[in-house]
Amino acid sequence: MSVYKLLGSSLLIFVLMASCGPSENEMTLTGNVKGLKKGTLLLQKIQDTLLVTIDSVQVLGNANFSFTKEVGSPEIYYLYVRLENGSLLDTRLPFFAEAAPINIETTLKNFAVDAVITGSKNQKLLDEYNSITRRYTDKNLEFIEQSLLTPTEDDSLILAIEKQQVRLKQSKYLATVNYALNHNDSEIAPYIMLSQPYEGNIKYLDTVYNTLTKRVKESSYGAKLDGYIKLRKESNTEN
């Protein structure tokens, strides 16, 4: 065999090996559902406003599971369990999917609540954000309880509680905006802005979007935030 043929064969083998390697957009999802003996784990995501199953794996005695999927842009995926008798658990386990090795450890008894998710940078940021906003949620529950215990004829106290709730809602929104601005290089920023109520100030939406990095603007949630802002502006013009 000539030197040129030998080099050509070696190059072909190298190209084939490279093509068989992991994609830069590949997510390897592994984990364990303690207490799950027999059933099916469903991997789901939102496509065109519908929740669809994109993959599944059977569990037969071994509660470990593994999925390998292409994730073009970081976004929320869901794990769902179908038990042996065909019934589904009434809770989904959401997580921020991205091109990385991600691990989820949880239990069948408290499928979503007990979940410990590692490996996803955006998930770590989402957990941090949720811990911040949980304080506002807990405080609002206190206001609701206080309102329920207030006599209906005590208009002044009821009005005062309602004003406090409005201020609390505004503070929570500003905390969300601030968190998004501080993480403008992560997909978590457009995601949490999209998760806010419709009446969110268009000025803040614009501010967050304009600070996003080019890569995040081109992500799935970045594009959705851009479209949402344009829709809001068109709606305001019509009004």
> Which domains are seen in the chain, by residue range?
23-118 (2.60.40.1120), 122-238 (no CATH)
Q: What pLDDT is stored for residue 228 in this prediction?
A: 94
C-alpha distances (whole Å) from 206 to each of 132, 141, 167, 170, 210 are 23, 31, 22, 17, 6
Reported confidence tier of residue 104, pLDDT bands at 50, 70, 90 = very high
Cβ(189)–Cβ(208) below 8 Å? yes
pLDDT, tens only, 182-193: 999 999 999 999
pLDDT, tens only, 172-181: 999 999 999 9
Reported confidence tier of residue 237, pLDDT bands at 50, 70, 90 = low
Reported confidence tier of residue 220, pLDDT bands at 50, 70, 90 = very high
CA distance 57 to 60: 10
Taking residues 209-227, report their average pLDDT.
Answer: 97
What are residue 32's phi and psi, to 5 degrees? -150, 135
| pLDDT at residue 127 is higher than 50 | yes
Share of the chain above pLDDT 70, in %: 89
Reported confidence tier of residue 18, pLDDT bands at 50, 70, 90 = very low
Cβ(43)–Cβ(29) below 8 Å? yes
Strand 93-97, strand 101-107: pairing: unpaired
Q: Considering only residues 8 and 181, tell me which one the structure prediction assigns the higher pLDDT.
A: 181
E strands, the chain, are 26-34, 38-47, 50-60, 64-70, 75-83, 93-97, 101-107, 116-118
Q: What pLDDT is stored for residue 150 in this prediction?
A: 81
C-alpha distances (whole Å) from 179 to each of 96, 130, 158, 183, 185 are 17, 11, 32, 6, 12
| pLDDT at residue 19 is higher than 90 | no
Residue matched to tokens 């600070």: 211
Taking residues 80-102, report their average pLDDT.
Answer: 90
